[in-house]
Amino acid sequence: MLPAVRAEAPAILLLAALAAAPFLGFGEGYMLTLLARAMILAMAAVSLSLLVGGAGLVSMGHAAMMGFGAYAVVILDDMGVTDAAIVLPTAIAAAGAFALATGAIAIRTSGVHFIMITLAFGQMAFFTASSLAGYGGDDGYTLYSRSDVLGLRLLDDRLAFHFICVGALALTWLLGRLLLASRFGRVLRAAKGNPLRAQALGFDPFPYRLTAYVIAGAMGGAAGFLFANATEFVAPAYISWQRSGELLFMVILGGVAGLHGALIGALGFVLLEEWLSHQWEHWRILFGVLLILAVLFLPNGLSGIPAQLARVARR
């Protein structure tokens, strides 16, 4: 059991640090807004990491899953429905259904073709959102209010919202961990490592991959629900391929060896982006260079740094 606990330690420590952040001098509004954004994107990144690291499915359209969740909030808000007990399941179901419909086609391909077809489906979702004139089209839609929880304006309380985000992120990570370790996850990982072997044992990879795609999509939908509530605004830009690329980058920056990599990658990405943008007007140049350096010199991502240092020290 000990090695198992050690493997989970980075994620648990990080989640604990996030939970404690408001009491460690990060309790002001601006900081909490930033952390909420980072945690919600981390949720989406963790769910994407389930696909990339667990199933070998490199999706370039994961932002669309968040988009379906966010637009479910918008459409229900427009209808006057703001009860989270209705909005959240709808957001999850909408994203899951989109994942099922597009995954059933995309998962028949692999490698570069899979990347391109998920990108294409993502762009379809993007242009559809842009054309929704009733919901602001390209300009986006400002919510009348955040969703209520059991009739309470719980999401309006900054501190409460912070803890909801911590809890949602922890739950996403924990579910992902359990899935990967389960019988289902074992087949998924085997089909990634050696599809021929999996088939020779009687496992057709397709239904396993599709199920994983739907689960990751549903998780992305939940993240989209939170994202819409965090910003109280939803625009097609949320679904753009750039956002999908960012999510994929977070996953790779953090490392795909474990789900905690996506956690670290997403938080690192968002916080570094924010910090740099305050340092220098042309910060994007520096940001790009840093990202390239990370890819070049951290083959296992940020989460692989300790092992990498240990190897260097042994030499």
Partner 1 sequence: MSAPLLALHGVQKRFGGLAVTDDVSLDIAPAEIHAVIGPNGAGKTTLINEISGVLKVDAGRILFGGQDITALSMPRRARLGLARSFQITSVVNAFSALENTALAVQARSGSSFRFLRPAATERALNEAAMSALEQVGLAARAETPAGAMSHGEKRQLELAIALATEPRLLLLDEPLAGAGPEETERLIGILRGLKSRYTIVLVEHDMQAVFALADRISVLVYGRVIATGTPDAIRANPEVRAAYLGEDEGAEAMPC
CB nearer to partner 1: pick between 185 and 221: 185
CB nearer to partner 1: pick between 50 and 72: 50
CB nearer to partner 1: pick between 136 and 221: 221
Q: How far is the CB of 155 from partner 1 (least distance, A)?
A: 28
Q: How far is the CB of 2 from partner 1 (least distance, A)?
A: 14
Interface contacts to partner 1, rule CB under 8 A: 178-179, 181-187, 189-190, 193-194, 196-204, 207-208, 211
Q: Which residues of 180-208 are buried (b: 16+ CB within 10 A; e: fewer)?
A: beeebbebbbbbbeebeebeeeebebeeb
Q: How far is the CB of 229 from partner 1 (least distance, A)?
A: 27
User: Sign of torsion, CA 23 29 31 37?
Assistant: positive
Q: How far is the CB of 183 from partner 1 (least distance, A)?
A: 4
CB nearer to partner 1: pick between 178 and 292: 178
Q: What element of type H or E holds 137?
A: none
Q: How far is the CB of 128 from partner 1 (least distance, A)?
A: 31
CB nearer to partner 1: pick between 184 and 249: 184
Q: How far is CA 73 from the centre of its chain?
A: 18
Give alpha helix (H) positions in 232-303.
241-254, 259-279, 283-297
User: Sign of torsion, CA 128 97 119 231?
Assistant: positive
CB nearer to partner 1: pick between 243 and 260: 260
Radius of gyration of the chain (CA): 19
CB nearer to partner 1: pick between 143 and 222: 222
Q: How many C-beta neighbours within 10 Å does residue 138 have?
A: 12
The CA distance from 311 to 305, in Å, is 10
The CA distance from 259 to 178, in Å, is 11
Residue whose entry in the numeric block shows the structure tokens 């990108």: 119
Q: How far is the CB of 191 from partner 1 (least distance, A)?
A: 9
Closest CA to 171 of 43, 268, 58: 43
Q: How far is the CB of 232 from partner 1 (least distance, A)?
A: 34
